[in-house]
Structure 1
Amino acid sequence: MTARIYVLEVPENEGVVDVAARDSQVTIDKVGPYFRITADDELIIDRRATGCRHAVWYSAIAGLEDSIIVQQDKDALRVTRR
């Protein structure tokens, strides 16, 4: 099982994808107009590192797959496998 999120490929979300890509435990691929971001157990993305404003930050997640968001606040996004 893995933690997996989908993020729409738009310029506003580039920071989220870029920060996720820095983690060697994360894989990113494309599914249609979405980035699929996958981690083995837990996915953690630091909001400040993304450069996203709050409105973009809280709307960046387009979907989850067998995962649950356990934190999404002004500091970080943490997603674990279900």
Structure 2
Amino acid sequence: MGRLFMLDVPENTSIVDVARHLDDVTVGRIGPYMVIESGDSVSIDRRSTDVRHAVWYSCVAGIEGWRIAQWDKDALRTEPR
């Protein structure tokens, strides 16, 4: 099980909304963070989130059980460690 933490601020909401619609992904909260959780890899397409690059490259607050395999102008993709 992997978890990706994002600060619960309006700028990150559309990223989490896209993740919420991915297969086998749950979204929850821990303190001031929104948590994207899955037993498998997660891939979020940046264009589908409609966020600017500055928000995109600052959205991750923490990660647990995964590593970031891709985080560029196209996608944020995690994979198990």
Task: Provide TM-score, normalisation by structure 1.
Answer: 0.94
Residue 3, structure 1, aligned to residue 14, structure 2: no
Report the Cα distance in structure 1 between the residues aligned to 2:38 and 2:50, rounded to whole angstroms: 21
Structure 1 counterpart SS, 2:57:
helix
Where does the alignment leave 5 or more consecutive residues of structure 1 unmatched? none
User: Among the aligned pairs, what percent are the same residue?
Assistant: 51
Offset from partner CA, 1:17-48 (integer Å, 9 cap, x none): 00000113101110001011011110110100
RMSD, aligned CA: 0.8
CA deviation after TM superposition for structure 1 residue 3, in Å? 2.5
Asked if 1:36 corresponds to 2:59, the answer is no
Specify the SS of the correspondent of 1:60: coil
Listed as ranges, the gaps of 5+ residues in structure 2 are: none
Q: By how many angstroms is 1:77 displaced?
A: 0.3
Relative contact order: is structure 1 or structure 2 higher (C-alpha 8 Å, sep ≥ 6)? 1
Task: Say whether the 8 Å CA contact 1:7–1:60 is kept in structure 2.
Answer: yes
Give the 3-state SS of the residue equivalent to 2:13 in structure 1. Answer: helix
Distance 1:68 1:74 in 2: 18
* Structure 1 runs, 4 residues or longer, greater than 3 Å off: none
The residue matched to 2:69 in structure 1 has which SS?
A: strand
Q: Name 1:22's counterpart in structure 2.
A: 21
Pairing of 1:45-56 with structure 2 (within 5 A): 45-56=44-55
What TM-score do the two structures reach when normalised by structure 2?
0.95
In the alignment, residue 66 of structure 1 is paired with which amino acid? Answer: G
How many residue pairs match? The answer is 81
